[in-house]
């Protein structure tokens, strides 16, 4: 029987817990967890029945019983953690936003290519069943050429000034945690933008509380989004074509439902993409498929596109005057 690929979880916060739960519920193998605290690593491992707990990231990536590292640290630590794993010969799945800036993203992409390893951004939305079906509908021509995409990502998140989300030095703010979703969605449907316009509202700690992004894509197609961390919203999205539209229900970036409506408002199709568990397992399936097949980049989330997305986020930050203390300058 073919041996399962073995996952190692680097960092033990909330997103790591969600991902690990989905991995295990889907029958995948998690053999080790690592934290900068031995106690936190052990507590996380015990919570999920994981055999090994490492009190440092270095020890985790050196573990011979780990094949794939999932990086779930705060954004400013993504690049260093991924480099550590790649240098140790591990395939790596890095939480989004992938890095703080495009310079770091390019460094990781180059290193993965040099080491002949799979490196992928954990933009789990790309791999959800309803997103796969949406692409099939668009490709079929059912709604005609896509003319615009609209999406929002609004939440009411912790207001404590010391919380990671409100700390500029930890890459806090709406853009990297929330805005990354609709920006990546626009890339997925319309391709890289040819022009970008952004404006933002800031908190007292200096992070972006709300950010609006408009982009022009090939063929004059347009995308628009608003993301905010201090006001909740319905979090729906719409893809507009010449012949009809796709209306994705709340919450559009998680396993969701949608309907297809023609130009006259007639219902063409409904789709229920809700799944068991949270839905983070599908990106893990893709990682394992790539490794097993010998491929090194996903067609659904190519590493080159991840770099391009980070370049767009850099352009947005330049427009709104947002920088993160201590970040490595973009290449």
CATH code for the domain in which residue 202 is found: 3.30.360.10
- Indicate the pTM of the whole model: 0.96
- Shared domain check, 270 and 133: yes
Domain-located, residue 285: no
Domain-located, residue 139: yes
Domain-located, residue 28: yes
Across the chain, which has 331 residues, the per-10-residue mean pLDDT values are 87 97 98 98 98 98 98 96 98 98 97 98 98 98 98 96 93 97 98 98 97 98 98 98 98 98 97 95 98 97 98 98 81 43
**228 DSSP assignment:** E
Domain-located, residue 213: yes
* Residues forming the active site: 96
CATH code of the domain covering residue 41: 3.40.50.720
- Shared domain check, 264 and 135: yes
* Number of domains making up the chain: 2
- Shared domain check, 102 and 52: yes
Beta strands, E only, the chain:
6-10, 29-34, 52-54, 68-71, 91-95, 119-122, 146-154, 195-202, 208-216, 222-228, 237-241, 244-248, 257-262, 267-272
- Shared domain check, 133 and 121: no
Residues 6+ apart with CB under 8 A from 299: none
Kindly tell me the burial class for residue 15, based on how many C-beta atoms sit within 10 Å of its own C-beta (0-12, 13-18, 19 or more). middle
Beta bridge partners of 29: 6
- Shared domain check, 134 and 121: no
- Shared domain check, 144 and 70: no
Domain-located, residue 237: yes
- Shared domain check, 17 and 146: no
Question: What single string gives the DSSP state of each residue in 181-211?
Answer: HHHHHHHHHH-S-SEEEEEEEE-TTSSEEEE
- Shared domain check, 162 and 89: no
- Shared domain check, 193 and 158: yes
Domain-located, residue 100: yes
The pLDDT of residue 276 is: 87
The pLDDT of residue 2 is: 65
- Shared domain check, 161 and 82: no
Domain stops at, among 274, 295, 313: 274
- Shared domain check, 235 and 205: yes
Domain stops at, among 259, 274, 289: 274
Terminus-to-terminus CA distance in the chain, angstroms?
46
- Shared domain check, 258 and 184: yes
Domain-located, residue 284: no
The pLDDT of residue 327 is: 82
Domain of residue 15 covers 6-125
**156 DSSP assignment:** B
Domain stops at, among 232, 257, 274: 274
Distance of CA 200 to the CA centre of its chain: 21
Dihedral angle sign, alpha carbons of residues 146, 250, 72, 19: negative
């Amino acid at each position: 029987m073919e041996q399962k690929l073995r996952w190692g979880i680097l960092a033990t916060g909330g997103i790591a817990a969600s991902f690990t739960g989905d991995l295990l519920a889907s029958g995948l193998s998690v053999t080790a967890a690592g934290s900068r605290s031995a106690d936190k690593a052990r507590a996380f491992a015990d919570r999920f029945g994981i055999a090994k707990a490492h009190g440092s990231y270095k020890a985790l990536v050196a573990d011979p019983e780990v094949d794939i590292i999932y990086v779930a640290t705060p954004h400013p630590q993504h690049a260093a953690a991924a480099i550590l794993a790649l240098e140790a010969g591990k395939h790596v799945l890095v939480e989004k936003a992938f890095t703080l800036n495009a310079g770091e993203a390019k460094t990781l992409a180059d290193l993965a290519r040099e080491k002949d390893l799979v490196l992928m951004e954990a933009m789990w939305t790309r791999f959800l069943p309803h997103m796969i079906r949406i692409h099939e509908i668009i490709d079929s021509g059912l709604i005609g050429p896509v003319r615009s995409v609209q999406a929002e990502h609004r939440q009411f998140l912790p207001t404590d000034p010391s919380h990671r989300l409100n700390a500029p030095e930890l890459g806090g703010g709406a853009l990297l945690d929330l805005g990354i979703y609709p920006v990546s969605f626009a890339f997925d449907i319309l391709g890289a933008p040819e022009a970008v316009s952004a404006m933002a509202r800031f908190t007292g700690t200096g992070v972006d509380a709300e950010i609006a992004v408009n982009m022009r894509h090939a063929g004059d197609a347009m995308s628009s989004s608003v993301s905010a961390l201090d006001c909740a919203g319905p979090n729906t999205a719409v893809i507009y074509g010449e012949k009809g539209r796709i209306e994705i229900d709340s919450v559009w970036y998680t396993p969701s439902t949608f309907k297809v409506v023609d130009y006259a408002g007639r219902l063409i199709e409904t789709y229920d993409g809700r799944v068991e568990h949270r839905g983070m397992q599908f990106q893990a399936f893709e990682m394992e498929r790539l490794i097993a097949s010998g491929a090194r980049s996903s067609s659904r989330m190519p590493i080159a596109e991840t770099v391009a997305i980070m370049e767009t986020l850099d352009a947005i930050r330049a427009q709104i005057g947002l920088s993160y203390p201590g970040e490595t300058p973009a290449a």
